[in-house]
Amino acid sequence: MPRINCLSIPCLGFMFVIGLLANTPNVLAQSLKVAKVKYNGGGDWYANKTSLPNLIEFCNRNLRTKIEPREEVVEVGSPELFYYPFVHLTGHGNIVFSASEAANLRKYLEGGGFLHIDDNYGLDKFIRLEMKKVFPEYDFVELPFSHPIYHQKYQFPKGLPKVHEHDNKPPQGFGIMHKGRLVCFYSYECDLGNGWEDQSIYNDPEATRQRALQMGANLVTYALTVN
């Protein structure tokens, strides 16, 4: 698979448009991989072991994507990051990016990659500081419910679904915009990744799991086509 970088593939949106113009299969029909981000700091980057495989299976079945079924793991500072158009970062605790890791993540996002951060409760105060290392000039901004990320195949007119309750706060979807492009989506007070887990782990109602998976599918679709 070709790497995503600012030299060979400026952005996935450009790649998708060229595919349409050439009357070739679009990005969703191409074989690709997604990955969970491994980071330093002591936080449990490995949380939710069944979530990403379940989301992949859901997307392949319902969106007809051709994502490799096996979950990949990639370190935030690794050049391998550029092999994945969509990466997922989660956890409960501390997270630390070195200067070189922050620079690598920035280059990945500027070059067309997409990062989904899912607060698994306790990540918020750490991830906001670390993403400031990546984009010092930007803050997370809450996306309006009208944003296209909530209106892909599945409709979420009230924004993110609520999976688990923690602090009696509504779920919020934040983004980092770079040159008009959404490069990072941050799901907060939602536990979206928990909703992707095997039903036996949390015994969530199936309707809750399905809405979580549908929202996850919207993220994947947006990252690979709209973005």
- Distances in Å between the Cα of 175 and the Cα atoms of 3, 4, 84, 141 are 24, 21, 19, 5
**Residue 185 confidence class, pLDDT cut points 50, 70, 90:** very high
**Closest by CA position to 182, among listed 214, 211, 144, 213:** 144
* pTM to 2 decimal places: 0.88
Q: Is the pLDDT of residue 12 over 70?
A: no
Q: Is the pLDDT of residue 41 over 60?
A: yes
The answer to whether residues 39 and 96 touch, using CB atoms and an 8 Å cutoff, is: yes
Span 70-86, average pLDDT: 96
Domain positions in the chain are 32-226
Q: Which residue has the tokens 């952005």?
A: 11
- Other Cβ atoms less than 10 A from the Cβ of 109: the count is 22
The answer to whether residues 162 and 170 touch, using CB atoms and an 8 Å cutoff, is: yes
Report the percentage of the chain scoring pLDDT > 90.
Answer: 79
Question: For the chain, what is the mean pLDDT?
Answer: 88
Q: What are 59-64's contacts with CB under 8 Å, separation 24+?
A: 59/216, 59/217, 59/220, 62/153, 62/217, 63/28, 63/153, 63/217, 63/220, 63/221, 64/28, 64/29
106-162: per-residue pLDDT in tens?
Answer: 999 999 999 999 999 899 999 999 999 999 999 999 999 999 999 999 999 999 999
Q: What is the CATH number of domain 32-226?
A: 3.40.50.12140
